[in-house]
């Protein structure tokens, strides 16, 4: 009788533990679901406030561990037709273009077609360096001292002209340098123009074709392209300015931003780009390590920049990031390697930069 009683008691105990386990799992799943909803709702609230339904908008994508966990659009892609923004809208990404230029250079380096310590006079023999050694490395890191063409008087006079890369280089090459190579860091669009020309000189392809064939096609970034005003581009978002009301963006020739800022993309394609960089699909890991080195000046001071990416910190975690600004558009991409979190925001008004909100969302994703 005692044996039967103990058996029954043991059976009841096992049933209780099993029931407790079921309750615990159910509660955990419920908590996870609620927390997931809270995370999504938090991001929605932040972005709805910044990009209201009746104004130019933005698209945002968040990925974690290689999986998209958030992808939404806000505001309008076209004010005149009141067209709502959607995830597939195509934006001018401005200086995020520099990432593609830097990786193109590294692809050529891996192929043995250039060296990072090559002097620019190897490719442009008559470039006036005035006895200074200016290398590809200097161009990639914004430490060349060459004056950025976007800060030169007279830029407006050529803004709508379609120039060849060499004609654009002629516009700034005779300007006095701002400092000796390697002495300072100063963000510089001219350096990335020179890199685009070097890509063309080595490959025999124009910059747009090289990027399309070797990056966009390889990664199936089907919505990405070199920008054009004249071509019909499906799902193109219209760009705007805001000063005493909204106005259409100022028109410039895309031959000016060229390899420093003339690409277009979507948040979905930019996710493909980030995954390709993370997984070394275009360049080897050891080459990527060179790209993401925090370089130093001649005096040993870190510049918080690699090749085409700023190297910063968010919540004490290493962050690889870059923004973009071109007439009527702002963009920002942030990648946190330790958490494998990527946040990309593309907006269609020069008045409403996604930079700070993208970094804020990255922090929230770190604790999700």
29 within a domain of the structure (yes/no): no
Q: Each residue of 196-229: pLDDT tens digit?
A: 999 999 999 999 999 999 999 999 999 999 999 9
CA pair distance 116, 103, nearest whole angstrom: 12
51 touches 77 (CB < 8 A):
no
Write down the mean pLDDT value for the chain: 91
- Residue scoring higher pLDDT (6 or 233): 233
Q: Look at residue 29 and tell me whether its pLDDT is greater than 90.
A: no
b/e map 160-186, b = 16+ CB within 10 Å: eeeeebeebbebbbeeebeeebbebbb
Mean pLDDT of 335-356: 98
Question: What is the percentage of the chain residues whose pLDDT exceeds 70?
Answer: 90
Q: Look at residue 19 and tell me whether its pLDDT is greater than 60.
A: no
Q: Which two tokens stand for residue 246?
A: 């909204």
Q: Which two tokens stand for residue 350?
A: 């020069």
**From 34-38, 40-44, 319-323, the region with the lowest mean pLDDT:** 34-38
32 within a domain of the structure (yes/no): no
- Which pLDDT value is given to residue 368? 80
- Which pLDDT value is given to residue 13? 46
Q: Look at residue 58 and tell me whether its pLDDT is greater than 90.
A: yes
Q: Look at residue 10 and tell me whether its pLDDT is greater than 60.
A: no
Compute φ and ψ for 181, nearest 5 degrees.
-55, 130
Alpha helix locations (H) across the chain?
Answer: 2-50, 97-110, 136-141, 155-158, 165-172, 189-203, 207-211, 258-261, 267-278, 285-291, 355-366
- Which pLDDT value is given to residue 95? 98
Measured over all CA atoms, what is the biggest interatomic distance in the chain, rounded to whole angstroms? 105
**Total domains in the fold of the chain:** 1
Q: Which two tokens stand for residue 337?
A: 């390697």
- Bridge partner list, 83: 78
- Which pLDDT value is given to residue 285? 98
Structural domain for 73, as ranges:
54-366
280 touches 117 (CB < 8 A):
no
Sequence-distant contacts of 167-173: CB under 8 A, at least 24 apart: 168/193, 168/255, 168/256, 168/258, 169/124, 169/127, 169/193, 169/194, 169/197, 172/146, 172/147, 172/148, 173/127, 173/128
Q: Which of 102, 39, 44, 69 is nearest to 273 (CA)?
A: 102
Q: Which two tokens stand for residue 97?
A: 């273009």
Residue 281 pLDDT grade (very low, low, confident, very high; cuts 50, 70, 90): very high
16 within a domain of the structure (yes/no): no
Q: How far is CA 142 from the centre of its chain?
A: 17
CA pair distance 72, 60, nearest whole angstrom: 6
Q: How many helices (H) and strands (E) does the chain have?
A: 11, 13
Q: Each residue of 138-190: pLDDT tens digit?
A: 999 999 999 999 999 989 999 999 999 999 999 999 999 999 999 999 999 99
Q: Between β-strands 310-314 and 263-265, what pairing exists: parallel, antiparallel or unpaired?
A: unpaired
Q: Which of 199, 201, 198 is nearest to 210 (CA)?
A: 199
2 within a domain of the structure (yes/no): no
CA pair distance 323, 355, nearest whole angstrom: 7
Residues in the chain: 368
Q: Look at residue 1 and tell me whether its pLDDT is greater than 90.
A: no
**From 19-23, 152-156, 277-281, the region with the lowest mean pLDDT:** 19-23
250 within a domain of the structure (yes/no): yes
- Residue scoring higher pLDDT (7 or 18): 18
30 within a domain of the structure (yes/no): no
**H/E/C letters for each residue in 240-300?**
EEECCCEEECCCCCCCCCHHHHCEEECHHHHHHHHHHHHCCCCCCHHHHHHHCCCCECCCC
Contacts of 15 (CB under 8 A, 6+ apart): none
Question: Is residue 355 helix, strand or coil?
Answer: helix
207 within a domain of the structure (yes/no): yes
**From 74-78, 97-101, 248-252, the region with the lowest mean pLDDT:** 248-252
CATH code at 351?
3.40.710.10
Q: Look at residue 37 and tell me whether its pLDDT is greater than 80.
A: no
205 within a domain of the structure (yes/no): yes
Burial of 103 (C-beta count, 10 Å sphere; 0-12/13-18/19+): buried
DSSP state of 151: G
CA pair distance 211, 291, nearest whole angstrom: 18
Mean pLDDT of 85-103: 98
| Count of beta carbons in the 10 Å neighbourhood of residue 269 | 23
- Which pLDDT value is given to residue 22? 38
Q: Look at residue 108 and tell me whether its pLDDT is greater than 70.
A: yes
The CA R_g of the chain, rounded to the nearest whole Å, is 25
């Amino acid at each position: 009788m005692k044996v039967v009683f103990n058996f029954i008691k043991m059976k009841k105990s096992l049933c209780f533990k099993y029931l407790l386990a079921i309750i615990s799992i159910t509660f955990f799943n419920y908590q996870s679901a609620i927390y997931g909803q809270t995370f999504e709702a938090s991001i929605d609230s932040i972005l709805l406030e910044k990009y209201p339904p009746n104004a130019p908008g933005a698209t945002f994508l968040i990925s974690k561990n290689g999986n998209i966990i958030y992808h939404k659009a806000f505001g309008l892609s076209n004010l005149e037709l009141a067209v709502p923004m959607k995830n597939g809208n195509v934006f001018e990404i401005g200086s995020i273009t520099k990432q593609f230029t830097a990786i193109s250079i590294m692809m050529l380096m891996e192929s043995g077609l250039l060296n990072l310590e090559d002097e620019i006079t190897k490719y442009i023999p008559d470039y006036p360096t005035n006895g200074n050694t200016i290398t590809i490395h200097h161009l990639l890191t914004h430490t060349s001292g060459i004056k950025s063409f976007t800060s030169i008087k007279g830029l407006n006079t050529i803004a709508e002209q379609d120039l060849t890369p060499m004609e654009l280089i002629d516009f700034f090459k005779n300007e006095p340098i701002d400092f000796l190579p390697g002495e300072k860091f100063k963000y510089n669009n001219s350096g990335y123009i020179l890199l685009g020309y070097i890509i063309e000189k080595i490959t025999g392809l124009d910059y747009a074709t090289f990027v399309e064939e070797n990056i966009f096609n390889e990664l199936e970034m089907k919505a990405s392209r070199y920008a054009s005003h004249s071509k019909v581009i499906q799902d193109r978002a219209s760009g705007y300015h805001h000063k005493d009301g909204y106005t259409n963006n100022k028109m410039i020739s895309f031959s000016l931003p060229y390899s420093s800022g003339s690409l277009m993309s979507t948040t979905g394609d930019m996710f493909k780009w980030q995954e390709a960089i993370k997984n070394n699909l275009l360049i080897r890991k050891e080459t990527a390590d060179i790209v993401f080195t925090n370089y130093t000046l001649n005096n040993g001071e870190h510049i918080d920049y690699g090749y085409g990416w700023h190297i910063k910190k968010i919540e004490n975690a290493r962050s690889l990031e870059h923004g973009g600004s071109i007439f009527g558009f702002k963009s920002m991409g942030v990648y946190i390697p330790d958490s494998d979190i990527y946040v990309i925001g593309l907006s269609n008004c020069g008045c409403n930069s996604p930079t700070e909100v993208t970094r804020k969302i990255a922090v929230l994703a770190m604790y999700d």
